[in-house]
Structure 1
Amino acid sequence: MMGRFAALGFAVFLSACASTPTSVKTDFDPGTNFARFRTYSWIARPEGVASPLVQQRIVDGVDSRLQRNGWKLVPNGDVHVAARVTTSERQTANTSSVGYIGWGGFGPPATGARVDTYEVGTLVVDMYDGSRKQAIWRGSASGTLDSDTARMTALLQAALDKMFAGFPPGGAPAK
């Protein structure tokens, strides 16, 4: 009976680790009037991406969110957009106690340890005022990468949704 509860608790723990939410942060220059911007252009497409398909998903995702706010993609736009991706390996040590050994269930607990390695990716999107050549907005999203393409695409879209949820800062989107 006790083994079933331990197994259930371990399964819940693993599922909680597997669904770790993406951390999203944004920052902007409070002195910038975003309502005056109508166009944008890419000055740096996401580098550090292993696949050109993932790079295109990022660009398409940013484009769709900016265009939803009435911005148009043009050469040398009002706002210059740059994106980059970094990845790093992380490790976590997991220990578990499988119960007591010995006669009658008494004795020291039997424990085990395992080191899990996983990859964390960070997407950073920067925007610059094209005329002033100054940074005006930054969004970043970090999370555990998934080897399944469909899940990774869903995680990317959810991260971009969070990143652009309050965009543009300071008011309603320009139309």
Structure 2
Amino acid sequence: MKRLALLMLPLLLSACASTPTTTTDVSPSADFSNYRSYSWLAKPDVNNPLAQQRIVDGINAQLRAKGWTESADGDVAVAAHVATSQKQTLDTFYSGGMYGGWGWRGGMGMGTSTTRVHTYDVGTLVVDMFDAKTKQGIWRGTASGTVPDSPEKANAAIDAGIAKMFAEFPPGSAPAGN
């Protein structure tokens, strides 16, 4: 049973971490009905050019789906940044007990514990938008989650994070599916 629990732990951790956490913030003075085009101010600096292209393509697809077009002199300047950090969790498993046995055979005894360190990478994508005329920030979205080991899962995580980040974009619009 203990062995089964140890084998299931990575699966449970990966299942919990598969949904990216997203947040958005918007300038209360920004009127998004005036914006219809965008240009890239800064594309994400990622050590994997394929991941960079997937992020750019994902953001482009979301903005196009909202009716925006990419233009050399867009109404909005978009800047995307990626950061990664390593996190650790400690998993401690106990066997035996401080009080050995049940009933009349109980007595003082020593249990054992095993602690395992699980190190994983967390990736964060930050997308900032600026009014091209005033140079003022108008919107910020972030998506953060555990970086999967396989490229297929990483691509799915990128897509899920970007989709979730832009679900209620532009601000004041109805959420997707309504």
Same fold (TM over 0.5): yes
Instruction: Give the TM-score, by structure 2 length.
Output: 0.85
Q: Does 1:111 align with 2:113?
A: yes
Give 2:137's aligned residue. 135
Give 1:88's aligned residue. 85
Q: Would you identify which runs of 4 or more consecutive aligned residues in structure 1 move more than 2 Å?
A: 6-16, 98-107
Give 1:166's aligned residue. 168
**Aligned-residue identity in percent:** 45
User: For 2:97 and 2:136, how far apart are their aligned partners in 1?
Assistant: 63
| Aligned CA-pair RMSD | 2.3
How many residues of Structure 1 are paired with residues of Structure 2 in the alignment? 168
User: For 1:116 and 1:105, how far apart are their aligned partners in 2?
Assistant: 35
User: For 2:13 and 2:110, how far apart are their aligned partners in 1?
Assistant: 28
How big is the shift at 1:12? 5.2
How big is the shift at 1:14? 3.5
Counterpart mapping for 1:52-71 below 5 A: 52-71=49-68
Structure 2 segments unaligned to the other structure (5+ residues): none
Q: Is contact 2:124–2:144 with CA below 8 Å preserved after alignment? A: yes
Instruction: Give the TM-score, by structure 1 length.
Output: 0.87
Query: C-alpha offsets along residues 116-171 of structure 1, whole Å, 9 cap, x if unaligned?
Result: 21111110000000011100000001111112000000011111111000000013
Q: Does 1:41 align with 2:39?
A: yes
Structure 1 segments unaligned to the other structure (5+ residues): none
2:157 to 146, 155, 158: 155
SS class of match (2:138): strand
| Residue type of the alignment partner of 2:141 | G
How big is the shift at 1:76? 1.5
